[in-house]
Amino acid sequence: MAKLYLIPTPVGNLEDITLRALRILKEVDLVLAEDTRTTGFLFKHFDIKTPMHSHHKFNEHKTVDLLVERVSQGQEIALVSDAGTPGISDPGFLLVRACVKAGVEVECLPGATAFVPALIDSGLPCDRFCFEGFLPQKKGRQTKINSLKEEERTMIFYESPFRLVKTLEQFSEVFGQDRLVSVSREISKLHEQTIRGTLSEVIAFFKEKQPKGEIVIVLSGNKS
């Protein structure tokens, strides 16, 4: 029976992809890519010639039913995002839900996800944590932050380098400037960096040194 594969791709170093992921990407009939240009670099590096179609947040609502039908008719399809595991702050959930509802088999391979190494590297408690992903950019942002004030688990956020300092300052206002935080950027890339300390210390650091690259914020929970 044909199935939908969710294939994690490297968040930085291309060597982080698994041998199984490479095999499946070469064997399936079609690869759905968040950005075919980005995935094209991966394909060229590993000599993968499987056809690609775009599948991103702007068109996924329109294409889900057709894709489920194609898998139901026997086509093997793989879904990848630009980096990391599809469905984690990236397109994927809608297609998986539709496949499950239609009785189409879905298989997600283990692999790269940016928040796992950031959490482990942080030195903060990682036995219990909550993943919050990207905060709302405008409406509901402050309400969301306020709702986490009493959260005791370690919290994980994704953020743009352009909004990092503003976000940390908002955290400082709600959680207190002495709350411990760890900021990881460029995970598994040449200039990977993790800065740890209190919110006030980390804010001061990034005010002096403009951050670049993909950002993961790991914030200690209340009373941890």
Could you tell me the pTM of the whole model? 0.91
Beta bridge partners of 53: 32
Separation of alpha carbons 85 and 8, rounded Å:
4
Looking at residue 224, its pLDDT comes to 59
Q: Which residues contact 99 (CB under 8 A, 6 or more apart)?
A: 4, 68, 71, 105, 106
Looking at residue 165, its pLDDT comes to 97
- The domains of the chain, with CATH numbers, are 3-108 (3.40.1010.10), 115-219 (3.30.950.10)
Looking at residue 211, its pLDDT comes to 92
Average pLDDT for the chain:
94
Separation of alpha carbons 134 and 131, rounded Å:
9
Whole-angstrom distance between the N-terminal and C-terminal Cα of the chain? 48
The pLDDT profile of the chain, 224 residues, written as one tens digit per residue, is 799 999 999 999 999 999 999 999 999 999 999 999 999 999 999 999 999 999 988 887 888 999 999 999 999 999 999 999 999 988 899 999 999 999 999 999 999 899 999 999 999 999 999 999 999 988 899 999 999 999 999 999 999 999 999 999 999 999 999 999 999 999 999 899 999 999 999 999 999 999 999 999 999 999 85
